[in-house]
Amino acid sequence: MSDERAANSPGEQERLRSIQRSVDGFTVQVIENLPVAAHWNCLELGAGAGSIAYWLAERCPAGRVVAADIDTRFLDAGRAPNLEVREADVTGDDFAPGRFDLVHARYLFCHLPARDELIARAAGWLAPGGWLVVEEPYHLPADTSPFPPVRRLMAAYQQKYRERGADMTWARGVPALLSRSGLTDVGFTGNLGCMGGLGKDRWGPLIAQAGPSLVADGLVTEADLAAFAGLLRDPSFVDIPQVTISAWGRAD
Ligand SMILES: C[S@@+](CC[C@H](N)C(=O)[O-])C[C@H]1O[C@@H](n2cnc3c(N)ncnc32)[C@H](O)[C@@H]1O
């Protein structure tokens, strides 16, 4: 866990919850389109604040759900009898091969080094017939926003992530990676991200958390943050900074 995140636990929790509020409905639809069964054993990688792991534990009452994260502060193992919370670093730690009917990861691999190889490793944790579902962000070019404060903030946000080794455009290659990892029945779909937009905003908490370090690094100014906060108060403001690409494939 980075010092920044450790020091800002309420901010991190709110960031994770805001992600969940904005995309859980989409993720549930994606998973429900698979032949989910009550006995499925599921592995939720980078489980964050846990909503999808908790939902899977309810959805698969005769199976087990492992919720794995490098930072388990926001995961509650007591939420369901068939739920296991495991502190794990997916870049190094392994899981039982050939064991899981579903391995799901959202907004995880784009942040990690050797992300292509991780797809192949995650495919190896699937039982025969099991599904790997990977959901990752694809950031639209910052300079195409019609709103100057958004252009500046998103350019800074993307630069910061790039410097940390993340790739916010990696998502478009995921379907091909799933095929190349030997998975079949590969499919994909997308969900448009929403900034502003009459109560559907997901970016206020993300920028609120990242803002101070973007200012400290000289990438944006306090005036940029204030201009963005002003936009968020404008009921007619809406922008689409990113698309979530969800892709899935099945082990033979
Ligand atoms: C952007 S959050 C997404 C959380 C959750 N998947 C969601 O979409 O609601 C990324 C999560 O991955 C976890 N994470 C980051 N690096 C990890 C690693 N190497 N191994 C396991 N989890 C990791 C973080 O702690 C965080 O909970």
Note whether residue 158 is domain-resident.
Answer: no
> Separation of 46 CA from ligand 1 center, angstroms?
4
Please state whether beta strands 242-250 and 126-139 pair in parallel, antiparallel, or not at all (unpaired): antiparallel
pLDDT category of residue 123 using cuts at 50, 70 and 90: very high
The ligand 1 atom nearest the CA atom of 16: 9
pLDDT at 6 over 80: no
Task: Determine the straight-line distance between the first and last CA of the chain, rounded to whole angstroms.
Answer: 36
pLDDT category of residue 162 using cuts at 50, 70 and 90: very high
Phi, psi (degrees; rounded to nearest 5) at 94: -115, 165
Contact assessment for residue 110 and residue 170, using Cβ atoms and an 8 Å cutoff: yes
pLDDT at 195 over 50: yes
> Separation of 109 CA from ligand 1 center, angstroms?
8
pLDDT at 1 over 50: no
pLDDT (0 to 100) of residue 103: 98
Number of structural domains in the chain: 1
Helix, strand or coil, per DSSP, at residue 164: coil
> Separation of 230 CA from ligand 1 center, angstroms?
30
Note whether residue 220 is domain-resident.
Answer: no
Note whether residue 82 is domain-resident.
Answer: yes
Contact assessment for residue 141 and residue 111, using Cβ atoms and an 8 Å cutoff: no
pLDDT at 198 over 80: no
Note whether residue 208 is domain-resident.
Answer: no
For residue 173, the domain's CATH number is 3.40.50.150
pLDDT (0 to 100) of residue 38: 98
Note whether residue 223 is domain-resident.
Answer: no
Note whether residue 72 is domain-resident.
Answer: yes
Expressed as residue numbers, the domain containing 114 is: 3-139+167-195+240-250
**Ligand 1 pocket test: which of 3, 70, 103 has the largest number of ligand atoms within 8 Å of its C-beta?**
70
pLDDT at 87 over 60: yes
pLDDT tens digits for range 44-59: 999 999 999 999 999 9
Instruction: Using the CB atoms, write b or e for 19-58: b if 16+ within 10 Å.
Output: bbebbeebbeebbeebebeeebbbbbbbbbbbbbbbbbbe
> Separation of 89 CA from ligand 1 center, angstroms?
9
The rounded mean pLDDT for the chain is 94
pLDDT (0 to 100) of residue 7: 46
pLDDT category of residue 3 using cuts at 50, 70 and 90: very low
> Separation of 69 CA from ligand 1 center, angstroms?
6
Q: Whose CA is nearest to atom 12 of ligand 1?
A: 46
Helix, strand or coil, per DSSP, at residue 185: strand
pLDDT (0 to 100) of residue 46: 98
pLDDT at 119 over 80: yes
What ranges in the chain are assigned the alpha helix state H? 3-7, 9-32, 51-59, 115-124, 148-163, 174-180, 203-216, 222-233
pLDDT category of residue 204 using cuts at 50, 70 and 90: confident
The arithmetic mean of pLDDT across residues 64-91, rounded, is 98
Cα–Cα distance, 56 to 62 (Å, whole number): 11
What are the pocket residues of ligand 1 if the criterion is a CB atom closer than 6 Å to any ligand atom?
16, 19-20, 46, 48, 69-71, 88-91, 106-108, 111-112
Q: Whose CA is nearest to atom 4 of ligand 1?
A: 48
pLDDT category of residue 10 using cuts at 50, 70 and 90: confident
Note whether residue 101 is domain-resident.
Answer: yes
pLDDT at 76 over 50: yes
155, with CB counted inside 10 A (0-12, 13-18, 19+), is: middle
Q: Whose CA is nearest to atom 8 of ligand 1?
A: 106
Note whether residue 205 is domain-resident.
Answer: no
Cα–Cα distance, 58 to 37 (Å, whole number): 11
**2-6, 175-179, 220-224 — which is least confidently predicted?**
2-6
> Separation of 23 CA from ligand 1 center, angstroms?
15
Cα–Cα distance, 161 to 24 (Å, whole number): 23
Cα–Cα distance, 121 to 181 (Å, whole number): 9
The ligand 1 atom nearest the CA atom of 52: 9
pLDDT at 15 over 90: no
The arithmetic mean of pLDDT across residues 28-36, rounded, is 98
pLDDT (0 to 100) of residue 206: 85
pLDDT at 2 over 50: no
